[in-house]
Amino acid sequence: MSKDREKAIPRTRLGRFGRVARMAGGVAAGMLSEGAKQLAKGNRPKVSDMILTPGNAKRVAKQLSAMRGAAMKVGQLLSMESADFLPPELADILSQLRDRAFIMPRQQLVQSLEEAYGEGWEQRFTNFDYTPLAAASIGQVHRATTLEGDEVVLKIQYPGVAQSIDSDVDNIASLLRVSRLLPKHVDISELLSDAKKQLHEEADYLQESKYLQKFSDVFVEDSRFIVPNFYPNLSTKTILVMQFIEGTPIDGIDKLVNIAPSSIDRLMGDLFSLMLTELFELQLMQTDPNFANYLYQESTGKIALLDFGATRKFTKKFSIDYKRLIRGVIAQAPDQTLDAAERLGYLLNQSSDEYQDFLVQIFNVALESFQEQGVYDFENARLSERLSQLSEQAYDFKEFWQTPPTDILYLHRKLGGMLMLATRLGAQVDVNSMVQPYIATLK
């Protein structure tokens, strides 16, 4: 990664608040500049027109990316399902945060390693690669070799991230409100409260190690998947050490010379099966749709499952109610679909019939692969195009819109990633036959 992707993470609450203050100042300066331009042209601009400019969009996205942690994660969460109901300019700001993160400068990286291991941390490894393999909102990943010769990866948490979660979330929410970047009708209080809880868990690498072990135990004898070994003697609350696994990122397997279309279909089917197992059997799901979290091992034909930081626990009730939603879609029964949506937390009592019809359309398209009997052709289904066409209507219903129930938001984050991957790979999968045994258990 190049030097221009390096930026030190502010460690203290004051330092992180300073980022927010500078962001707000930059937005205000951008407003004044845009207002002056419009007045010079003889126009009388509205406040919203001056706020939601491309320049302000870049300012906000850059500062949130530089802060990482909760600030960046809030932006990612809001971009998942709420984007259709937000002004296009704000949706664009948030969408930039999905795959964007700066990396720590080497000096700050070394400081983080010394705080976790103490001075002389290098003596724990025969080799350490200072260039990260990946960087995300909570931490970045580095490759190393243990004294025993094992190839491992270290997931190293950004300094100050865990301690600043609550204040970061509150500061960003205040900025979005005060600056009017977030429309008045959008209530994100419940989402933010739940996001704090989830982020505290994601920032606890000892908790993540328990999820890693849980998935390892579940799939230890499953010939389709491999879960990396955990190294407890090298792991701390802020550094998680796992086995390094060679493989091809799953979204690039169609470029492999020896991969057949039938193998792609099989692998994609395995991932859909994994998602259904997580939701309906384990009630425990790795919800990060980042394709780099899945590697294809050409030598074994297995899929490696790499990252469990965004693991989400679901209640049994939620699992059952989502079965009801899928059953309503499969049966093409709008009343059943809406009843299940209400059970899941959608507030529909005071919404219009038109909005309810629109919501049913969204579910029907998003879950169409569950509905169609036989093999579903993702490449020719044009799901993204059709959902985009529907999303153009979404802002018309803004008075009825609510932040999606948080469990739904995380689940659909994973589902959306699966649909996107299946489309990109041109997979053909019989998803309906996979979900039918689960639906059959409903009373």
Tell which residue, 220, 221, 216, 246, has the closest CA to residue 231: 216
**In this structure, how many other beta carbons lie within 10 angstroms of the beta carbon of residue 366?**
18
Write b or e for each residue in 267-297: b if 16 or more Cβ atoms lie within 10 A of its Cβ, otherwise e.
Answer: bbbbbbbbbbbbbbebebbbbbbbbbbbbbe
Tell which residue, 276, 268, 260, has the closest CA to residue 428: 268
Q: What are 241's strand-pairing partners?
A: 154
User: For 246, phi and psi rounded to 5 degrees?
Assistant: -75, 145
Q: What is the pLDDT of residue 168?
A: 74
User: DSSP E strands: which ranges in 86-208?
Assistant: 125-128, 134-135, 139-146, 151-157
Token couple for 300:
């074994």
Confidence of residue 273 (pLDDT cuts 50, 70, 90): very high
Q: What is the pLDDT of residue 30?
A: 41
Q: What is the pLDDT of residue 267?
A: 95
Side chain identity, residue 119: E
The stretch 188-202 carries a mean pLDDT of 78
Q: What is the pLDDT of residue 86?
A: 52
Tell which residue, 83, 69, 28, 102, has the closest CA to residue 171: 69
Q: What is the pLDDT of residue 150?
A: 98
Cα dihedral 120, 126, 132, 138 sign:
negative
User: For 41, phi and psi rounded to 5 degrees?
Assistant: -90, 0
Token couple for 324:
């009801």
d(CA 188, CA 373): 38
Confidence of residue 34 (pLDDT cuts 50, 70, 90): very low
**H helices then E strands: how many in the chain?**
18, 13
Instruction: Catalogue the active-site residues.
Output: 288
d(CA 280, CA 104): 39
Listed by start position, the domains of the chain span 3-101+169-181, 105-157+204-244, 249-443
Q: What percent of the chain has a predicted confidence (pLDDT) above 70?
A: 71
DSSP 3-state percent helix, strand, coil across the chain (nearest 5):
60, 10, 30
Ranking 180-189, 201-210, 310-319 by mean pLDDT, the lowest is: 180-189
- Is the predicted pLDDT of residue 81 greater than 70, yes or no? no
pTM beyond 0.85, yes or no: no
- Is the predicted pLDDT of residue 380 greater than 80, yes or no? yes
Side chain identity, residue 57: A
Q: Which tens digit of pLDDT belongs to each residue from 162-177?
A: 887 887 777 767 766 6
Q: Which tens digit of pLDDT belongs to each residue from 405-439?
A: 889 988 988 998 899 899 999 999 999 999 999 99
Cα dihedral 387, 392, 398, 403 sign:
positive
d(CA 118, CA 18): 29
Beta pairing, strands 151-157 & 139-146: antiparallel
* Residues contacting 107, CB < 8 A, separation 6+: none
Nearest 5°: the CA angle 359, 362, 364 is: 110
CATH 3.30.200 applies to domain 105-157+204-244: yes
